[in-house]
Structure 1
Amino acid sequence: MSGTAGHGTVKGRDFRLFWFGETVSLLGNGIAVVALPFVAVLTLHAGTFVVGLLTSVAYLPWLLLGLPAGAWVDRLPRRPVMLVSDAVSFVAFVSVPIAACAHVLTIPHLLAAAFICGCASVFFTTAQRAYLPTLLSDAELLSGNARLQGSESTAEVIGPGLAGMLVQAFGAVAGLLANALSFLVSWISLRAIRVTEPPPSPPPEVRRRRLRTEVRDGLRFLFRDRILRTLAVFSAVSNIALTGMSSIEVAFLVRTVGAGEAVVGAVLTLCGLGGVLGVLVSHQVSRRYGSARAVVICLCGAAPFTLLFPLTGPGAGLAFFVVGGVGVGAGVVAANIITDTFRQRYCPPDLIGRVSASAAVISFGAIAVGGLLGGVLGELSGVRETMWMMTGMYTLATVALVCSPIRKLRDFPESDESLRAAEAEKAVP
């Protein structure tokens, strides 16, 4: 493992390159999250179901490929996997503006691009989580994750505003071209990294094992561990709820509330400030209250803010959406930083790819379900009514979290061995 142990600092050219490439790519994603529904709604005149389906299709690959991807990533060098993923994503998204310029863009084409990019994202995200400990020491992981999450939150602030301006100035597909170019920048940055990645070196008996067995090992580790299992279940339910709302937010703001493209971009930009706030407070909250307790505080604190989304109205009523977005974003992002760092420290190195992929399949698979559910309910019951349903689901998820074993912990354990030792110590009379 490269990098020097420090007190929360992150040094090194290679991590800075990695961080820069990721930041640009995340900014492109922040633009595309808004631009993609705009293309569907404004260019192709799609209904609410199709808008929700776009989110679902983008995350469906996690259900199809997530588990075997984790096993493959544990067998392969991680950086080449990320390079191929960036190249595939670039081709998928650059095809959309090309088709639009040729006046042959269709909804199936848009869905296919989202699905292909989603497949690439499965491998990139799984490899990235396993690759980061190669660039950073254990002492640097929390700060490294905070910087990456900070980039994601900043992209969520800047991206929607840029998307709104690009849509108004150059048309809806301009945002997808910007996203395609961001993958190219990420690819170049990864190519420039010099650190030598340790080659995967599983024993011969592991290399001969069937892929199904390796996948089962990752799932078994995840579900036998009470902390990882609790976090995975909460992530699934909360992601269904939050994605059910976010997948139809553009349609809600444009069609139900009556906001214009620039106003929608501004509203979503202000909502993104919550993620930046979450990055800023995550370390302080974790240090003051303990990592496990901080996660419960942050996620439960976000719950009341979800009630504001369905109350949104035109004009000054948009403030409900903004305040809700800031509150939810701050709580969820701060919790994500802490839990991501916990998993990277906690999981055995030879299992980290498979365990991360197993957790991601549950988390991102739930996003696919949430996107589809939001679109279906939006068509059947109404968009505002769907917002209320999803708010209720998130509230129930937080109640379950408070009743889970995590509520008894102050800090997450450093490893599964330390957890077993602590439990054995408690069992001694």
Structure 2
Amino acid sequence: MILVCLYGGVWVDRSKRVPIMIGRDLISACALVFVPLAQILGCLSIPSLCVVTFICFSAEAVGGVAQQAYLASLLGGERLIEAYGRIALSSGVSQAIGPVIAGFLAETISPTIALVVDACTFLFSAATIRAIDFVEPKPPVVENESAWEAIKLGFMVVWRSPILRMLMLQASLFFFVNQMSVALLILKASRELGISAAGIGFAYMSGGGGSLIFSLFAENLVKKLGVGRAMGLGFAVCALGWAGIATLTKGDEHCLVEFGMFYALLVVGTVMWNMTYAVARSRYAPPESLGRVISTMRFCVSIPEPLGALLGGSLATAFGFRRTFYVIAVLAVLIALFSLVKSHTLMPSKSDDAIF
């Protein structure tokens, strides 16, 4: 899927983005509908589910690049903060009510019906994208350039830009640290804190609620702080969440509420960082190679993710959940300081203060 993303970046730069986004939604819808059909026909299996997962993730890998590149061309640099603030708002609503609806459908009817409903949401997405009243500029015609040469150019663009290179390094560190905690969160909640599956679901809903509340004032906050400082603050908020989770112990009367609160902090910090990172990347990437820049940076930041997961699991096995989450929190603080220093150092001019 990572390689699909790289080739997808080339495709995005050489094609109109709307058909790619619509194609992503239609492919995802068809893949999801396959699951209940296969169950009815009696041919559903683990390998077939793996194929469906691969198709959905591959479609999103390419469609996600097209979506971010399209958003930049649709609005331009000055309105990206507003746009990503509204996206954060819609994501917060989805995270808050999505698990409830899915759980209700799976419990009262069947999980396959939940997948059918999910497929319908992709069809709705395709229809709304098709309805956007914006004529995309014609993509540049490229002659005698192979896909591999175009991919290589994407790497060169990122490496030669101090700001893009710094953003890629920050993203790599963020995803490395984040992956250290992903699997441990559920294990900490279920094994060490004794929180039930329903309680964990409540915590994830609280994360969506936190994202929703933050999105209401995210735009003004980011504009006031600047993108670079807001990225550092996002790391710091995540550090608070991880440190708070580390302090929780079994038997605490308010353990579930506190876990939900600290998880909400994690989500808020992640949303703040993702939002500002996407804005900065779109602003400083050359428009003609934005798709390749996005796919290149996605490729590079995905490399340390499995290493982070491996390190997190190893530390938890050797030293326990509490100490591991403290380590994660300390790393997040160090990354926050690095982000603040580098964003200030690489600020190009006074004219960019409102953005970076």
Tell me, yes or no, whether TM beats 0.5: yes
On the 8 A contact 2:229/2:339 being kept in 1, the answer is no
Residue in 1 aligned with 2:208? Answer: 272
Pick from 259, 263, 285 the counterpart of residue 347 of structure 1.
Answer: 285
Within the candidate set 253, 266, 271, 1:333 is matched to 271
Cα shift at 1:368: 6.2
Q: Contact 2:81–2:222 (CA<8 Å) still a contact in 1?
A: no
User: Secondary structure at 1:350's aligned position in 2?
Assistant: helix
Equivalent residue number for residue 11 of structure 1: none
Residue of structure 2 in register with 1:29 after alignment = none
Is residue 124 from structure 1 mapped to residue 59 from structure 2 by the alignment? Answer: no
Which consecutive residues of structure 2, in runs of 5 or more, have no partner in the other structure? none
1:333-366, CA deviations, whole angstroms, 9 ceiling, x for partnerless residues?
Answer: 1222222122222211101111111122234555
- 1:157 is matched with 96
Paired residues for 1:199-348 under 5 Å: 199-202=138-141, 206-247=142-183, 249=185, 253=189, 257-310=193-246, 311=248, 313=250, 316-348=254-286
SS in 1 for 2:288: coil
Mapped contact 1:74–1:354 kept (Cα < 8 A): yes
Q: Which moved more, 1:88-97 or 1:174-183?
A: 174-183
Cα distance in 2 for partners of 1:130, 1:255 equals 42
Question: 1:414, CA displacement in angstroms?
Answer: 8.3
1:80 matched to 2:19? The reply is yes
CA RMSD of superposed structures (Å): 3.3
Contact 1:292 1:410 in 2 (8 A): no
1:402 aligns with 2:337: yes
Q: Is residue 301–residue 331 contact of structure 1 (8 Å, CA) maintained in 2?
A: yes
Cα distance in 2, alignment partners of residues 402 and 64 from structure 1 = 32
Q: Is the 8 A contact 2:229 2:340 kept in 1?
A: no
Paired residue type of 1:117: C
1:251, distance to aligned residue in structure 2 (A): 6.2
Q: Take 2:349 and 2:309, find their aligned partners in 1: how far apart are those partners? A: 35
What is the alpha-carbon distance in structure 2 between the residues aligned to residue 149 and residue 414 of structure 1? 28
Provide the C-alpha distance between the structure 2 equivalents of 1:120 and 1:306, rounded to a whole number of angstroms: 32
Inter-CA distance 198–150: structure 2 relative to 1 (3 Å threshold): same
1:155-213: per-residue Cα shift (whole Å, max 9, x none)?
112222223323322344443333222111111222223422111124xxx43112222
- CA offset at residue 132 of structure 1? 1.2
TM-score of the two chains, using structure 2 as the length reference = 0.84
**Partner of residue 99 from structure 1, selected from 35, 38, 51:** 38
- Distance in 1 (CA, whole Å) between partners of 2:327 and 2:182 is 15
After TM superposition, the structure 1 stretch with the greater mean CA deviation from structure 2, 272-281 or 114-123, is 272-281
Distance 1:66 1:156, change over 3 A: same
- Alpha-carbon distance between aligned partners in 1 of 2:323 and 2:105, rounded to the nearest angstrom: 31
What CA distance in whole angstroms lies between the structure 2 residues aligned with 1:195 and 1:352? 19
- C-alpha contact 2:235 2:332 (8 A) present in aligned 1: no
Count of residues in Structure 1 that have an aligned counterpart in Structure 2: 350
Q: Percent sequence identity over matched residues? A: 27
